[in-house]
Amino acid sequence: MTRRAQAPVEATVEVVPANEVACADLQTIFGDRGQGSRCQCQRYKLRPGESFAGFPVEERVHRLREQTDCGNPGPGPTSGLVAFADGDPVGWCAVEPRTAYEGLVRNQRVPWLGRTADKDDASIWAVTCIFVRTGHRRQGVSRVLARAAADFARQRGARALEAYPMTTTNAIDEELHVGTVGVFAEAGLAEIGRPTLRRAVMRIDF
């Protein structure tokens, strides 16, 4: 039996700041199994001395709720964006000042190899995760989120936006949370480095 391709939903996707959505919507996106439900977008949020396995999922859920300020609409800070398709929460994008990702700044090699960058520059924002809910992937949601992230960063006063995507679409889903080169290129980011065979550094200056 031939599997029919799902029609793109890109034109019907609405993206809003995460603080404007119910916390339950976030958990609907991450689900109750798989890498997303375990991570809760905390891999790049590790504090000094912490290990990813060092605190339970319940604590990760709690931290995500604090970071997004979900359920509290207004102009205040939030750590990401949420995509809805026909009113259904389908995608998440982590985007905020690069300095907010302590683990990224302190432990990750990819953003820094082969270039000089001020790690303490809070005017540079970053996208560290684009996660689309199971059943809604390969329908254009990631592209919408990437474009929205660039607009969101610009509107919030960012001087530039960076991303650190995979260079191949043949990666396993657990790796693709960082997005792909093609997704960010369509959002206006340009490749400025290729620190490894599988990862790129991309950036747009505002």
Secondary structure string (H, E, C) spanning the chain: CCCCCCCCCHHHEEEEEHHHCCHHHHHHHHCCCHHHHHHCCCHHHCCCCCCHHHCCHHHHHHHHHHHHCCCCCCCCCCCEEEEEECCEEEEEEEEEEHHHCHHHHHHCCCCCCCCCCCCCCCCEEEEEEEEECCCCCCCCHHHHHHHHHHHHHHHCCCCEEEECCECCCCCCCCCHHHCEHHHHHHCCCEEEECCCCCECEEEEEC
Name the nearest CA neighbour of 132 among 168, 171, 85.
85
pLDDT, tens digit (0-9, with 9 covering 90-100), for 64-106: 999 999 999 988 889 999 999 999 999 999 999 999 999 888 8
- Do 121 and 99 form a contact (C-beta atoms < 8 A)? yes
Among 10-14, 153-157, 196-200, whose mean pLDDT is lowest?
A: 10-14
Name the nearest CA neighbour of 130 among 102, 153, 100, 163.
163
At residue 3, does pLDDT exceed 50? no
Q: What percent of the chain has pLDDT over 70?
A: 91
62: tokens are 């709690």
Q: Could you tell me the residue ranges of all domains in the chain?
A: 13-205
Give the pLDDT mean for 172-178.
67
At residue 123, does pLDDT exceed 70? yes
pLDDT interval class at 162 (50, 70, 90):
very high
pLDDT interval class at 12 (50, 70, 90):
confident
Higher-confidence residue of 35 and 185: namely 185
- Do 84 and 135 form a contact (C-beta atoms < 8 A)? no
At residue 10, does pLDDT exceed 80? no
Give the pLDDT mean for 134-161.
94
Contact partners, residue 116, CB within 8 Å, separation at least 6: none
Give the pLDDT mean for 181-202.
94
| CB-CB neighbours of 18 under 10 Å | 26
From the candidate CATH numbers 3.40.630.30, 3.30.2350.10, 3.10.520.10, 3.30.300.30, the one assigned to the domain spanning 13-205: 3.40.630.30
In this prediction, residue 114 carries a pLDDT of: 86
Higher-confidence residue of 158 and 105: namely 158
Residue in the block written with tokens 């439900």: 37
